[in-house]
């Protein structure tokens, strides 16, 4: 496993919000309110966490033209991180 991947795994693991957010997506395409409901985290926190994860290229949104109701999903990089979280 590469050093870069280990850094990303560590980045996610040090935050329970990041970990729960990534696990709640689990291969699905969801809007932030659905992620919040699945993970038990308030929506305003989910928005911040998603922005952080997007900056690390762990999640992406597939409808960038909208501000409300953005659809988020894992990136390929994220799939590798999630496998190592369990």
**Digitized pLDDT (tens) for each residue of the chain, 86 residues in all:** 788 889 999 999 999 999 999 989 888 999 999 999 999 999 989 999 999 999 999 999 898 788 888 899 999 888 888 888 76
Contact 13, 3 (CB under 8 A): no
The secondary structure of residue 14, as a DSSP letter, is T
Burial per residue of 50-80, b for 16 or more beta-carbon CB atoms within 10 angstroms, e otherwise? bebbeebebbbbeeeeeeeebbbebeebbeb
- How much is the pLDDT for 86? 66
- How much is the pLDDT for 20? 92
- How much is the pLDDT for 66? 82
């Amino acid at each position: 496993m590469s050093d870069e991947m280990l850094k990303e795994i560590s980045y996610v693991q040090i935050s329970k919000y990041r970990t729960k957010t990534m696990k709640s997506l689990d291969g699905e395409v969801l809007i932030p309110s659905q992620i919040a409901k699945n993970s038990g985290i308030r929506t305003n926190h989910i928005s911040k966490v998603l922005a952080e994860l997007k900056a690390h290229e762990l999640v992406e949104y597939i409808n960038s033209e909208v501000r409300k109701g953005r659809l988020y999903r894992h990136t390929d990089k994220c799939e590798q991180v999630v496998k190592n979280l369990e």
